[in-house]
């Protein structure tokens, strides 16, 4: 059984017991435990079920490479699936449940898949489930989905109870990894004066050296102290280098509250770091060995077994068999023995066995079997014994050795993920049997120079002394590359330990037959076995990417940290080619999964996106505004009174406005000031009509096209004085059109003398609309003349309106006598209130965007975004009067000369009047006879705007119809999606006051 | 995530401060021009695997347009320069040639 | 070709699956083929397949510089839908969708087409009008879609938050027969079927030049030698520009990075595909349980198959807002692909300035969903030398005439 | 003159730093040839300072660079005048809110006949101050700027999360942020979130 040892455990504080819950059971651990070590201490070796066969799974590792020990953690707004036990620090009240089983971890129905495993090889689903056709969707897929997936989905209605944030940071040198190599590299770099950031994903500095021995007593503590004393160094623990991106961009994933959820503050902080140079001292990950039954709970990585004993004072078992192809695993045997536990046998696949460490182990009386292998592990939910055989043979069992844990080591693989994210290449190191970074082909930065280097074990320097020297060189190199003068540090001199070389063992025993290969796991979580990879190769899925995708090898939540190298070695072996020829799959960020919430950062709820507010926003809010998002603005769609529906409100607002007086908050309209000697010339290019001839104090409606000829914006242009114009744009258009103007001025006509400023938000603007609009303005008084002749239609004046500094434009979008009054935004709310009070006697009514839309439609005015959709040219809308014939050029003119734009077959704007007065549905198309070559019904037009007009008490619409203007009076059919056919007569688009008398009073 | 230097305000900022504007040095063809000239101007693009001369605007900054010479394969940046030019200045051409001997782009090399 | 079936699997189980044959041959290139297709992605392989199936042309080679299906076919978010606005698009995408329905049987390879339904959320009045318009158009195009209200959306997507503080869900465009498929399997299934028809799929064979005489294509130079052909099909998404340059012409195309990501796998919680275009994010759940997430493209030419992280950020925050439970999930993996975007964001299927050289390109973000339709139309184009009805509107000449096929108009983006 | 109000009317938040809406500031966008002698004199007359160099900001009078820290400086700043370099042909001239139109008049008067633009944009803006020892960290959470290297006398136009903004220091540990008025609530929300209790980063 696994249990807590009487002593040992560098990380835990035995004076501070911690209580936690596992599947409802109350268990005890100590502060400093990880969830994994605490579960082991409670003899909970089995921690989950595998993905495909639902086989029992125990913890195999002690770090972020762990594929098995994943849990549903927390409750309510703090619930999270797939939490990795090996990287989850224990805290009081922590509560987890195991995953991917039903009804329980101990008894799981899904395990049936296991008994059928033989019928479910890699990719079996590509070959089956095809008949009958509907069965895939209704039978097979639902079944597969249910048995797949790992953790529980968080509750759909519960909001995340935590907060998250980002942080921008800049450094000359960033070191990822706080083991001895990282610390040394950071120090050497920092000595040059460079600004250095070093991060460690664990809560502790020092890494494996704290288990396997420091270069010298207190080395780590000393280095950490020195670094803490340097003010050009920033040190972060619990922060993982998640991904390396172009131009030195590095993501740091800092877990601030995972270990202390009771404290205030953000849970995660995502660092967006811009690094001059990056050093990855991310260490190495131990590889499992591929023998039958290597997935049975109790089979663990040798290094992990050592960690649990040394760091947490936890023994994975009383009798730990060790199996290896290298010297390092002997450290585990020695550690186990020193902890007072049994090591029945060390199985060393190498005929020659190990070196110094092997002698030490033998000296302690441990039995060592060279040239031997594990033929098979027995046991179901826990290891019972190992059956030994000759590594050279096919697995004939020589003897059975009882044990309750197996510590395996297939050698170590440098963690090259961060090196590879941005294009760093790898070389295969034959001697050490591993891929390591190819220094000659690093990822390149904006200057075409390498910006990542690896240090220590991550660079393939597994030996402590070599690793330190490598780290020192990396620190020096990085500092120099970042532009600093650097020198190496003085290092403790360490004797090269005389380990005997590793001998690659990809299959154990090497001659294992199909039976054994079908039980030798590569990917524990996804249930990929040696036989699966061999099958893929046999079927021609020869590219490592094909094999990965066909077998799902390395696609589990550990992204193949344990399985990839073993898998591609098997693949290479099967294809009879060298490992480098096979190559690796692409390493993609993040190194280990990071929370979606940390990626979203602060952008949630009210600050998910900016909401733009006008100075009158609060008034609208307080007066029943029914909001409509327009770009980032919120505009009142209408104002709801009492129980009325939006539709009723819109009708009321229109009637009141046409009858007496309405107010519209028009502040969102774009207002661009264009000034300079060439301003007129510039606007003549920008608009389809002639603007240079506009007289000061006058307004003119203008159209803007894209260079591709399509109508892109419209608005009223005002000539403020001789050399300055005010261009109104649509609400959505202000920034876009401002950018458009700057683009042409800066990149095409840079010699023209024109300046543009976006004054949109300087002005609050109110549409004062209706027969009584003049009266209410006159009530406000002031020195401006707004009389019929003083300010004629399409005229502009400015001055004091009451106490306000106002600009007044007499323009009419609703077809009534109306004015647009603009005042500085800081006076906007006051103006609105003043108009409200003064308008009371006229039954003043605020109206929203929908009433505005309907009223302009009644007048036959087009609306950008309704009549236009990016495929419409002004000529389609019968706006020829607004297209200057005199001008040689304007933006879009050339495009409009193209054959299809000139075609007489283009659909043209007309009014549409339903025969029965009903309202044509939004977006309906007018059908024509027959079908096209693709069997689609022919069409001859579509509706662009369609409303119920309270003024005319009937449905009105505008639409684009083939040769429309020539077909006045003709009735065409608009089939609705509801089956009814709407018959509409083609009429003039102006439904209300065609003579325009109302606006000219 | 690119870093770009704006030659107008001197800021070296990350991609999110800027807005890409596509291929640079396009010659505008107006009314009366040939169909193919206009099509080339509006739609046909070099889209090279390698050195690309392109437009950027410092939209969350000084608001100015400028040009950048950038490799679309390595994302290496050879330099940024004024948007008020008809072709890249000699020092930019030299900077590119130094890193990509024998490069050429449209009529430039 | 040994047929795949449950019985075959059972039979093989008896001998530990040692009897399975290769899914596709790996031959040496011949001196000459009737047709060479450059690019063994979905569209290239589908083109070859329909050349054989519909037009009886089987002396065909499909050349691939890397491994088949390794481009965008293996990098997309596997969404299949045909609720497009414009007639030509709707015809092409619906053809593709209908071919997906029977693909597993047609190819005897389970591509796991899952007609689980796709919703495009309407979160502004403008989007509501746009999608209602699309629904009307689709009805006349023979594409079954409907505009549904918020309640129905919630019913179909229980994890959605209808009342997001920013953009309330006002409804959505629902296509019940749209869905997803296993992307790799599509390429593998076509490859197996093509190989079985005697076609040569030649991987690790990069085209380095296009040979021509008198304005007509005669063959290609490759890293595995020169190969002659009567007709050439260029089907190389993400690489169309450079290949066109070899053939001596330019394209109205720019290549940009498109990114995607998956979460860690969780138990089933979403049965349909949801696209939220106002906030630029879309999401579905794979059969493995991962939430498959995609967003928008980068704004600059790029061939690195890596995008900028801030686009991932925009997409994720949009989805956290739309589906609050996503907040507590973790991103497992992110990646990028290179998509070719044309001047009107619609694809190009047509002739090129070079005789007997045809092109299928510019799919932007719509490539995977059209694989069978694009292949069908391209095969017809190559076989007959002229586009059929499906491809008629997609020729390059539209850019000269100003006859665009603009899908962005219906408030929709073409994911 | 009617009663004028700023977007948030002085809303404030106290967290790991103090966040405060600083009320109305007079601001004039000036565009023209910054090298012209005539322009230099005009700007000096309107702003009280010489035209600052690239990305520079110069203030005169109380609330200038020499101001005390915290809200005091913020209020003081409202009385200060100065000019900020916005781009090679653009300045932002800072004056008391009531004097913005006068500043425009001065420029128009002194520069008549030359090509330039002077526009009162005071009300198009919202102004915030972030003060205290952790102010740098609060800003560093929102703007892609190296706050470790940011100093007085410099103006940086950048973005705060999803909106454009300009940033400068008006004293030790005292920052002024200017954004568009319509997004004042958003900016305040951002700063409040970034300044929440327990969110110290501990690097500045």
CATH of the domain at C237: 3.50.50.60
Q: Show the low-confidence residues of chain C (pLDDT under 70).
A: 165, 410-415
Contact D122 A824 (CB under 8 A): yes
Q: Does C87 share its domain with C134? A: no
Is residue C1 in some structural domain? no
Mark which residues 861-880 of A lie under 8 Å from D by CB: none
Same domain, yes or no: C338 and C350: no
Q: Among partner residues A136, A146, A148, which is closest to C112 by beta-carbon distance? A: A136
Element (DSSP H or E) covering residue A375: strand A372-379
Q: Which residues in chain C have Cβ-Cβ distances shorter than 8 Å to A601? A: 313, 317
Q: Is D200 part of a structural domain of the chain?
A: no
Angle made by CA atoms A183, A189, A194, in degrees to the nearest 5 = 125
Instruction: State percent of chain A over pLDDT 70.
Output: 100
C75/C96 same-domain check: yes
E-strand ranges in C171-206 read 171-175, 179-180, 200-202
Q: Is the whole model's pTM more than 0.90, yes or no?
A: yes
Domain contains C103: yes
Q: Verify that C62 and C168 share a domain, yes or no.
A: no
Stretch (H or E) spanning D27: strand D26-31
* Contact (CB, 8 A) for A745 and A752: yes
CA distance B34 to chain D (A): 37
Residue C413's pLDDT is what?
A: 38
Question: Domain ends where: C292, C316, C342?
Answer: C342
* Chain C environment of B24 (Cβ under 8 Å): none
For residue D156, tell me if it sits in a domain. Answer: yes
* A895 to B84: CB separation less than 8 angstroms, yes or no: no
The CATH number of whichever domain residue D122 belongs to comes to 3.30.1360.120
For residue D87, give the nearest of B14, B16, B62 by CB distance.
Answer: B62
- Whether residue A984 contacts residue A916, with contact meaning beta carbons closer than 8 Å, is answered with no
Specify the CATH number for the domain of residue C166.
3.30.9.10
pLDDT of the residue at D68: 39
Report if residue C3 sits inside a domain. Answer: no
Residue A750, chain B, CB below 8 Å: the answer is: yes
Tell me how far apart the alpha carbons of residues C243 and C249 are, in angstroms, rounded to a whole number: 9
Asked if residue C340 lies in contact with residue C253, where contact means CB atoms within 8 angstroms, the answer is yes
d(CA C328, CA C321): 12
Distance CA D156, CA D87 (A): 11
| A628-638: pLDDT as tens digits | 999 999 999 99
The CA-CA-CA angle for residues A593, A599, A602, to 5°, reads 145
Four-CA torsion A380, A384, A390, A396, nearest 10 degrees? -60
Domain identity same for C137 and C53? no
Q: Which residues of D touch A826 (CB under 8 A)?
A: 4-6, 24, 97, 122-123
Compute the average pLDDT of residues D110-123.
97
Q: What is the pLDDT of residue D63?
A: 45
For the CA atoms of chain B, what is the radius of gyration? Answer: 14
pLDDT for A619-666, tens place per residue?
A: 999 999 999 999 999 999 999 999 999 999 999 999 999 999 999 999
Tell me if ipTM is over 0.90. Answer: yes
Q: Does the CB of A831 have a partner CB in chain D at under 8 Å?
A: yes
**pLDDT tens-digit readout, C276-335:** 988 888 999 999 999 999 988 888 999 998 988 999 999 999 999 999 999 999 999 999
What is the pLDDT confidence band of residue D151, given thresholds at 50, 70 and 90? very high
Say whether both C55 and C141 belong to one domain. Answer: no
User: Cβ separation of D5 and A826 shorter than 8 Å?
Assistant: yes
Contacts of C109 (CB under 8 A, 6+ apart): A126, A127, C4, C185, C188, C189, C192, C193
Host H or E run for residue C348:
strand C348-351
* pLDDT at A508 exceeding the cut of 70: yes
Provide the pLDDT confidence category of residue A821 given band limits of 50, 70 and 90: very high
CB neighbour list of residue B11: distance below 8 Å, 6 or more residues apart: B5, B17, B58, B61, B62, D55, D156, D157
Range of the domain at D90: 12-194
Give the span between the Cα atoms of A356 and A284, in whole angstroms: 22
- Binding partners of A (≥3 Cβ pairs within 8 A): B, C, D
* Domain boundary residue, one of C325, C342, C359: C342
Q: Which of B1, B10, B60 to mutate: most D Cβ within 10 Å? A: B60
> Do C97 and C136 fall within a single domain?
no
Interface test with B, best of A169, A276, A894, A901 (most B CBs within 10 A): A894
Which range is least confidently modeled, A245-259, C26-40, D64-78, D160-174? D64-78
Report the pLDDT value the prediction gives residue D78, as an integer from 0 to 100.
67
Alpha-carbon torsion A454, A459, A463, A466, what sign? negative
* Residue C415 within a domain: no
Q: Does C124 sit within 8 Å of A629, measured CB to CB?
A: yes
CB atoms within 10 A of CB A132: 9
Q: For chain A, what is the radius of gyration of the CA atoms?
A: 38
Strands D117-120 and D26-31: antiparallel
Beta-carbon separation of B16 and D144 below 8 A: yes
Bridge partners (DSSP) listed for residue C359: C234, C350
Sign of CA dihedral A873, A879, A882, A885: positive
Secondary structure letter of residue A358 according to DSSP: H
User: From residue A916, how far is each of A262, A946, A982, A985, D106 by CA, in Å?
Assistant: 67, 14, 9, 10, 65
Inside any domain, residue D188: yes
Asked, for residue D201, whether it belongs to a domain, the answer is no
Residue D1: inside a domain, yes or no?
no
d(CA D55, CA D153): 9
Q: Give the total number of structural domains in chain C.
A: 2
**8 A C-beta contact, residue A675 and residue D108:** no
Q: Do B30 and A894 touch (CB under 8 A)?
A: yes
- State the pLDDT at residue D75: 43
Domains of chain A: 3-114 (3.10.20.440), 164-284+414-481 (3.50.50.60), 289-409 (3.50.50.60), 514-582 (1.10.10.1100), 610-861 (3.30.1360.120), 904-999 (2.40.30.110)
Question: CA–CA separation, A915 vs A87, rounded Å?
Answer: 72
Instruction: Please write the tens of the pLDDT for every residue from A36-82.
Output: 999 999 999 999 999 899 999 999 999 999 999 999 999 999 999 99
**Burial bucket for residue A915 (CB in 10 Å: 0-12, 13-18, 19+):** exposed
Closest partner CB to A119 (pick from C10, C101, C129):
C10
Residue D185, min C-alpha distance to chain A (Å): 8
Which segment of A334-338, C217-221, D3-7 scores lowest on mean pLDDT? D3-7
Q: Are residues C84 and C104 in the same domain?
A: yes
| C236 & C366 share domain | yes
Q: Are C121 and C276 in contact (CB under 8 A)?
A: yes
Q: What domains appear along chain B, each with residue ranges and CATH number?
A: 3-99 (3.30.2270.10)
Q: Is residue A670's pLDDT more than 70?
A: yes
Residue of D nearest to A262 (CA): D198
Inter-residue contact D140 to A169 (CB < 8 Å): yes
Burial A561-589 (b: 16+ CB within 10 A, else e): bbbbbbbbbbbbbbbeeebeebbbbebbb
Determine the Cα–Cα distance for residues A351 and A208; give it in Å rounded to an integer: 28
Residue D141 · residue D202 · CB < 8 Å: no
C364's CB contacts (< 8 A; 6+ apart) are: C297, C339, C340, C341, C342, C345, C346, C347, C414
Domain-located, residue C19: no
Contact (Cβ atoms closer than 8 angstroms) between residue A150 and residue A584: no
Interchain proximity C330–A559, CB inside 8 Å = no
Is the confidence at residue A522, as pLDDT, over 80?
yes
Whole-angstrom Cα distance, residue D200 to residue D202?
6
CA distance readout (Å), A803 to A619, A763, A772, D97:
20, 16, 21, 17
Tokens of C282: 């879309």
- C229 and C98 in one domain? yes
Residue C14 lies in a domain: no
State the chains in contact with C (3 or more Cβ–Cβ pairs under 8 Å): A, B
Chain B residues in contact with A894 (beta carbon < 8 A): 29-33, 38
Q: Which bin fits A456, alpha (ψ -120 to 50), beta or left (φ > 0)?
A: left
In chain D, residues with a C-beta closer than 8 Å to the C-beta of B62 are 86-88, 90, 157
Is the residue at C16 inside a domain? Answer: no
Contact A81, A59 (CB under 8 A): no
The total number of structural domains that make up chain D: 1
The answer to whether A283 touches B39, Cβ cutoff 8 Å, is no
Q: Over the stretch A408-458, which tens digit does the pLDDT of each residue have? A: 999 999 999 999 999 999 999 999 999 999 999 999 999 999 999 999 999
Q: Which of C282, C308, C342 is the last residue of a domain?
A: C342
Q: Supply the pLDDT for residue C42.
A: 98
What domain range is C97 assigned to?
Answer: 31-109+182-251+344-410
Residue D5 lies in a domain: no
CB contact under 8 A, C91 and A637: no
Q: What is the pLDDT of residues B64-96, one digit of tens each?
A: 999 999 999 999 999 999 999 999 999 999 999
């Amino acid at each position: 059984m696994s249990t807590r040892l009487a002593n040992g455990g560098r990380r835990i504080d035995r004076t501070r017991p911690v209580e936690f819950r596992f599947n409802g059971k109350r268990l005890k651990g100590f502060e400093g435990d990880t969830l994994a070590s605490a579960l082991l201490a409670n003899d909970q070796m089995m921690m989950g079920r595998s993905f495909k066969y639902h086989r029992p799974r125990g913890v195999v590792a002690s770090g972020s490479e762990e594929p098995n020990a994943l849990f549903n953690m927390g409750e309510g707004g703090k619930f999270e699936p797939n939490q990795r036990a090996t990287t989850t620090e224990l805290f009081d009240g922590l509560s987890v449940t195991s995953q991917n089983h039903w009804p329980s971890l101990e008894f799981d129905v899904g395990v049936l898949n296991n008994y059928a495993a033989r019928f479910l090889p890699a990719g079996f689903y590509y070959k089956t489930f095809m008949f009958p056709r509907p069965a895939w969707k209704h039978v097979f897929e639902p079944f597969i989905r249910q048995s797949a997936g790992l953790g529980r989905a968080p509750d759909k209605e519960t909001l995340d109870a935590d907060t998250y944030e980002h942080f921008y940071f800049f450094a000359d040198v960033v070191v990822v990894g706080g083991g001895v190599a990282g610390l040394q590299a950071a120090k050497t770099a920092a000595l040059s004066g460079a600004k250095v950031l070093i991060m460690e994903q664990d809560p502790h500095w020092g890494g494996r050296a704290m288990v396997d021995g420091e270069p010298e007593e207190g080395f780590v503590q000393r280095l950490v102290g020195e670094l803490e004393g340097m003010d050009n160094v920033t040190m972060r623990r619990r922060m993982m280098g998640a991904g390396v991106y172009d131009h030195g961009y590095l993501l740091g994933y800092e877990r601030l509250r995972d270990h202390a959820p009771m404290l205030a503050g953000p849970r995660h902080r995502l660092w967006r770091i811009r690094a001059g140079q990056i050093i990855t001292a991310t260490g190495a990950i131990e590889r499992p060995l591929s023998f039958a039954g290597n997935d049975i709970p109790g089979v663990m990585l040798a290094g992990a077994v050592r960690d649990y004993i040394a760091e947490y004072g936890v023994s994975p078992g009383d009798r730990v068999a060790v199996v290896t192809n290298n010297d390092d695993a002997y450290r585990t045997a020695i550690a186990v023995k020193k902890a007072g536990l049994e090591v029945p046998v060390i199985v060393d696949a190498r005929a020659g066995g190990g070196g110094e460490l092997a002698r030490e182990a033998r000296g302690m009386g441990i039995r060592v079997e060279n040239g031997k292998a594990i033929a098979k592990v027995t046991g179901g939910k826990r290891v019972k014994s190992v059956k030994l055989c000759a590594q050279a043979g096919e697995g004939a069992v020589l003897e059975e050795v009882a044990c309750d844990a197996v510590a395996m080591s297939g050698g170590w693989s440098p963690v090259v993920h961060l090196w590879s994210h941005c294009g760093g290449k790898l070389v295969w190191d034959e001697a050490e049997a591993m891929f390591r970074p190819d220094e000659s082909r690093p990822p390149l930065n904006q200057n075409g120079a390498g910006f990542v280097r690896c240090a220590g074990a991550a660079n393939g320097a597994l030996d402590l002394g070599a690793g330190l020297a490598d780290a020192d060189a990396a620190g020096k190199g990085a500092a120099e590359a970042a532009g600093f003068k650097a020198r190496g540090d003085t290092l403790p001199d360490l004797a090269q330990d005389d380990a005997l070389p590793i001998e690659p063992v990809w299959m154990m025993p090497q001659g294992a037959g199909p039976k054994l290969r079908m039980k030798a796991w590569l990917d524990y979580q996804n249930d990929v076995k040696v036989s699966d990879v061999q099958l893929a190769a046999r079927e021609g899925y020869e590219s490592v990417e094909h094999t990965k995708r066909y077998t799902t090898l390395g696609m589990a939540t550990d992204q193949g940290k344990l399985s990839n190298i073993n898998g591609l070695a098997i693949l290479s072996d099967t294809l009879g080619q060298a490992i480098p020829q096979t190559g690796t799959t692409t390493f993609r960020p993040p190194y280990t999964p990071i929370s979606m919430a940390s990626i979203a950062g602060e952008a949630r709820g009210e600050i998910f996106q900016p909401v733009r507010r006008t100075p009158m926003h609060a008034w609208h809010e307080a007066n029943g505004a029914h909001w409509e998002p327009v770009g980032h603005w919120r505009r009142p769609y209408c104002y709801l009174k009492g129980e009325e529906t939006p539709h009723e409100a819109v009708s009321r607002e229109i009637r009141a406005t046409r009858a007496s007086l309405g107010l519209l908050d028009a502040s969102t309209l774009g207002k661009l000031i264009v000034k300079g000697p060439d301003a007129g010339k510039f606007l003549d290019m920008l608009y389809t009509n002639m603007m240079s001839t506009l007289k000061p104090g006058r307004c003119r409606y203008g159209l803007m096209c894209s260079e591709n000829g399509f109508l892109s914006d419209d608005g009223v242009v005002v000539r403020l004085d001789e050399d300055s114009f005010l261009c109104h744009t649509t609400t959505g258009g202000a920034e876009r059109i401002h950018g458009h103007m700057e683009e042409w001025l800066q990149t095409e006509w840079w010699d023209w003398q024109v300046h543009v400023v976006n004054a949109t938000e300087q002005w609050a603007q109110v549409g004062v609309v209706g027969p009584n609009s003049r009266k209410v303005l006159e009530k406000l008084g002031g020195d401006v003349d707004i009389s019929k002749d003083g300010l004629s239609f399409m005229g502009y004046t400015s001055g004091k309106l009451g106490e306000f500094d106002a600009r007044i434009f007499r323009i009419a979008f609703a077809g009534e006598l109306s004015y647009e009054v603009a005042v500085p935004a800081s006076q906007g709310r006051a103006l609105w209130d003043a108009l409200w009070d003064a308008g009371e006697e006229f039954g003043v009514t605020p109206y929203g965007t929908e009433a505005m839309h309907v009223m302009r439609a009644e007048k036959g005015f087009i609306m950008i975004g309704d009549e236009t959709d990016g495929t419409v040219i002004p000529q389609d809308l019968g706006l020829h009067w607004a297209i200057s014939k005199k001008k040689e050029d304007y933006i879009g003119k050339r495009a409009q000369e193209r054959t299809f734009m000139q075609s007489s077959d283009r659909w043209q704007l007309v009014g549409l009047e339903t025969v029965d007065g009903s309202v044509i549905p939004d977006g309906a198309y007018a059908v024509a006879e027959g079908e096209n070559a693709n069997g689609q019904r022919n069409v001859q037009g579509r509706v662009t705007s369609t409303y119920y007009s309270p003024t005319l008490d009937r449905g009105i619409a505008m639409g684009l119809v083939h040769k429309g203007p020539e077909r006045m009076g003709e009735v065409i059919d608009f089939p609705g999606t509801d089956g009814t056919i709407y018959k509409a007569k083609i009429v003039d688009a102006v439904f209300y006051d065609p003579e325009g008398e109302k606006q000219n009073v | 995530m690119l870093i770009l230097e704006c030659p107008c305000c001197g800021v070296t900022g990350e991609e999110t401060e800027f807005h890409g504007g596509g291929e640079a040095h396009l010659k505008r063809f107006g009314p009366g021009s040939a169909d193919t000239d206009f099509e080339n101007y509006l739609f046909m693009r070099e889209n090279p695997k390698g050195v690309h001369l392109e437009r950027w605007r410092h939209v969350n900054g000084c608001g100015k347009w400028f040009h950048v010479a950038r490799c679309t394969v390595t994302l290496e940046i050879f330099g940024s320069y004024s948007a008020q030019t008809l072709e890249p200045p000699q020092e930019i051409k030299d900077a590119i040639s130094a890193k990509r001997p024998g490069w050429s782009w449209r009529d430039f090399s | 070709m040994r047929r795949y079936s449950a019985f075959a699997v059972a039979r093989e189980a008896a001998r530990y699956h040692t009897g399975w044959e290769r899914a596709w041959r790996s031959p040496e290139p011949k001196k000459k083929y009737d047709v060479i297709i450059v690019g063994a992605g979905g569209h290239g392989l589908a083109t070859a397949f329909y050349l054989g199936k519909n037009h009886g042309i089987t002396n065909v080679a499909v050349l691939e510089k890397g491994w088949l299906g390794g481009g965008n076919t293996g990098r997309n978010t596997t969404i299949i839908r045909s609720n497009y606005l414009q007639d030509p698009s709707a015809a092409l995408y619906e053809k593709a969708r209908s071919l997906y329905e029977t693909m597993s049987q047609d190819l005897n390879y389970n591509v796991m087409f899952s007609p689980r339904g796709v919703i495009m959320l309407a979160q502004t009045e403008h989007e509501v009008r746009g999608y209602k318009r699309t629904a009307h158009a689709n009805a006349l195009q023979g594409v079954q879609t409907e505009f549904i209200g918020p309640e129905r959306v919630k019913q179909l997507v229980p994890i959605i938050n209808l009342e997001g503080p920013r953009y309330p869900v006002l409804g959505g465009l629902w296509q019940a027969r749209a869905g997803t498929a296993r992307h790799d399997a599509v390429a593998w299934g076509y490859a197996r079927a093509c190989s079985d028809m005697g076609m040569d799929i030649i991987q690790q064979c990069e085209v380095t030049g296009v040979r021509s005489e008198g304005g007509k294509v005669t063959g290609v130079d490759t890293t595995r030698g020169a190969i002659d052909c009567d007709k050439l099909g260029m089907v190389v998404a993400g690489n169309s520009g450079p290949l066109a340059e070899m053939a001596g012409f330019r394209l109205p195309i720019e290549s940009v990075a498109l990114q995607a990501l998956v979460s860690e796998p969780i138990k089933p919680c979403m049965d349909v595909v949801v696209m939220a275009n106002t906030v630029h994010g879309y999401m579905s759940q794979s059969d493995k349980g991962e939430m498959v997430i995609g967003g928008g493209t980068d704004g600059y030419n790029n061939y690195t198959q890596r995008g900028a992280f801030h686009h991932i950020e925009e997409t994720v925050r949009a989805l956290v807002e739309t589906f609050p439970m996503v907040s507590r999930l973790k991103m497992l993996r992110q990646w990028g692909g290179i998509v070719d975007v044309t001047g009107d964001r619609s694809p190009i299927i047509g002739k090129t300035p070079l005789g007997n050289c045809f092109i299928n390109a510019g799919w932007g973000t719509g490539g995977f969903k059209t694989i069978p339709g694009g292949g069908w139309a391209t095969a017809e184009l190559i076989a007959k030398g002229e586009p059929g009805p499906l491809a008629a509107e997609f020729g390059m000449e539209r850019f000269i005439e100003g006859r665009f096929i603009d899908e962005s108009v219906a408030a929709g983006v073409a994911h | 003159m009617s009663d004028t109000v700023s977007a948030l009317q002085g809303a404030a938040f106290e967290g790991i730093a103090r966040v405060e809406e600083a009320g109305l500031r007079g601001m004039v966008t000036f565009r023209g040839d910054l090298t012209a002698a005539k322009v230099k004199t005009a700007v000096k007359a309107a702003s009280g300072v010489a035209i600052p160099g690239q990305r520079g900001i110069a203030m005169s009078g109380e609330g200038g660079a020499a101001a005390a820290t915290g809200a005091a400086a913020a209020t003081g700043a409202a009385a200060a005048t100065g000019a900020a370099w916005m781009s090679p042909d653009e300045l932002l001239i800072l004056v008391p809110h009531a004097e913005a139109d006068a500043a425009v008049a001065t420029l128009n008067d002194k520069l008549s006949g030359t090509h330039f633009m002077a526009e009162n944009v005071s009300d198009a803006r919202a102004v915030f101050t972030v003060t205290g020892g952790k102010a740098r960290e609060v800003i560093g959470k929102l703007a892609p700027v190296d706050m470790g290297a940011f100093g007085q006398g410099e103006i940086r136009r950048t973005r705060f999360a999803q909106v454009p903004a300009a940033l400068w220091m008006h004293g030790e540990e005292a920052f002024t942020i200017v954004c568009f008025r319509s997004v004042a609530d958003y900016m305040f929300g951002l700063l409040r979130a970034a300044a929440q209790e327990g969110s110290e980063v501990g690097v500045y």
